[in-house]
Amino acid sequence: MFRNLLQKSNSKDEKVKQLEAMGFDKESAKIALEMTNFNLEEATHHLLSNQEALSSHSAAASSSQARSTANNRPNRSAAIMRAGEAAANRANNSSAKFGSNQIQKKSSAATTRTTSTASRTPATSTNTFTSSSLASTSTQTVSKIHPKVKMPTKMKDKSKEEQILRCSKRLAPYPHAVDTLLQAFTFVKNYPQNSKYRKINTQTLGYQKVLEGKPGVVDLIHAMNFQKRGTEYILKESDLDLALLFLGISALENIRSSREYLTEKRNTQFKRDIKRIMEGSNLNANVDQDAELLKRSAFLQKVPTEPDDGSGALLQLYLGSANRSSVHDEDPTKNMLLKQTKDMNINETETVEKISRRFDGDDTLQNIVDWIGAHGSCIPEKLLNREWSLVDLNKYPLEEIDVETCLGDTLQRVGCWPSGRLELRPSTLEWRDEKVKSAA
């Protein structure tokens, strides 16, 4: 069948060529052959007898085709624009399903195809279909796909007042950063004419240790109208806004009374105290090191004789914590991490000292407190007034041991038999306040 079609096509071309050889033009020959069902003799007769009519018919057909082509141009341009918008829509739909990497590939491919197609259209359609129209279409498509989703406003687009308040709250767990910025802003307020106080050098050791990397620091500095110039943040005298300055100082002062700030402040002080105790000093400045040694010896004399290896209960005490999770934390994952961190001592920024000793089963919590006092004479007093507390790491959830009421309890009753793992840490605010209320 294909061979017959091919032969038929070839015969048509040959007949057209024969008519062209007779002196007729190609278009007239084709028209005559179509009118006579490709009969060469009848086509020749028609061409000879109706030469004028065929010429007018050919001209009309050519003009009609030209008008059709001209009319199709705007339609083709509109179709190209619709195809480009459809490509952008498909790219945005892909973004919600397959991730950002595929979005970029599909959208770039769609844009390439649209651009190459539009380049073959007239200049008017090319100018109409621009990247701005794609961007607006993309935004509209996202709003259609997720009509209820609203993108949060960027921090830099918020009001100065809101920026200051939000950044101050983010700094609450970093008391050193809060105190440093509060001091810096206070100097600017008191000495606005002094350019020295209107500069913050990011290369100083103090900035790198206290402020660098803390969330909210840079945003807060920018909110106070400081501008980055090389390695410094500079506040021009013309940009000094006393209202913003007072608001920033007030916000930081309020943060100093927040729970997060106070808790971390006490933890920081606790680390310093433990370090001094491990160095053999007393927290009381009036007590010298020799007097501290005598006090520790007095506590050690009260401790019962240690049982032999293989007998009694092994008690381990951690002086300081490598993880500051709340003792009331209900997350078992955090508590598991807490124990692993203490055993491995992987936190290099904090000093965690572990001491251990064996006790008999009938020894009491008082004996443990005396043993702890032999390592720091001020510790027992802090345990009794609940400034510090002992936490049983083998219990879940973690909770403080009431040292004052349990001094006479045996290790078995306290929960430290046949072994015990205790930790010395600063008391939670609730635990400390409970002692204050009971005393009142």
The pLDDT of residue 44 is 80
The pLDDT of residue 318 is 93
The pLDDT of residue 153 is 78
The pLDDT of residue 242 is 92
Say whether pLDDT at 117 is over 90. no
Strands 353-359 and 232-234: unpaired
> What's the average model confidence in pLDDT over 94-123?
45
User: What are the structural domain ranges in the chain?
Assistant: 60-145, 156-257, 283-439
Q: Which of 135-149, 295-309, 363-377 has the lowest mean pLDDT?
A: 135-149
What are 30's two structure tokens?
Answer: 């084709």
Q: For residue 237, what is the DSSP state?
A: G
Question: Nearest 5°: CA angle at 216, between 213 and 222?
Answer: 105
* 229-276 pLDDT tens trace: 999 999 999 999 999 999 999 999 999 999 999 999 999 999 999 999
Class of CATH domain 156-257: mainly alpha
Please report how many Cα atoms fall inside a 13 Å half-sphere around the Cα of residue 6, on the Cβ side. 3
* 280-317 pLDDT tens trace: 888 887 888 889 999 999 999 999 999 988 788 899 99
Say whether pLDDT at 110 is over 80. no
More confident residue, 50 or 176: 176
> What's the average model confidence in pLDDT over 391-410?
89
CATH (one of 3.40.630.10, 1.10.150.650, 3.10.20.90, 3.40.50.2000) for 283-439: 3.10.20.90
Query: Please, which pLDDT band fits residue 436 given cuts at 50, 70 and 90?
Result: low
Q: For residue 154, what is the DSSP state?
A: P
Residue 91 CB-density burial (10 A; 0-12 exposed, 13-18 middle, 19+ buried): buried
Query: Please, which pLDDT band fits residue 12 given cuts at 50, 70 and 90?
Result: confident
> What's the average model confidence in pLDDT over 149-170?
85
> What's the average model confidence in pLDDT over 126-153?
58
The pLDDT of residue 381 is 93
| Phi–psi pair at 391, nearest 5 degrees | -125, 130
The pLDDT of residue 317 is 93
Q: How far apart are CA 351 and CA 278, in angstroms?
A: 10
The pLDDT of residue 183 is 95
Query: Please, which pLDDT band fits residue 36 given cuts at 50, 70 and 90?
Result: confident
Q: Helices 51-98 & 26-35, crossing angle to 10 degrees?
A: 90
The pLDDT of residue 1 is 42
Say whether pLDDT at 162 is over 80. yes
The pLDDT of residue 336 is 36
Query: Please, which pLDDT band fits residue 425 given cuts at 50, 70 and 90?
Result: very high
pTM: 0.57
Q: How far apart are CA 17 and CA 23, in angstroms?
A: 10
| Phi–psi pair at 325, nearest 5 degrees | -65, 150
* 174-218 pLDDT tens trace: 999 999 999 999 999 999 999 999 999 999 999 999 999 999 999
Which residues are bridge partners to 358 per DSSP? 314
What are 99's two structure tokens?
Answer: 């991730």
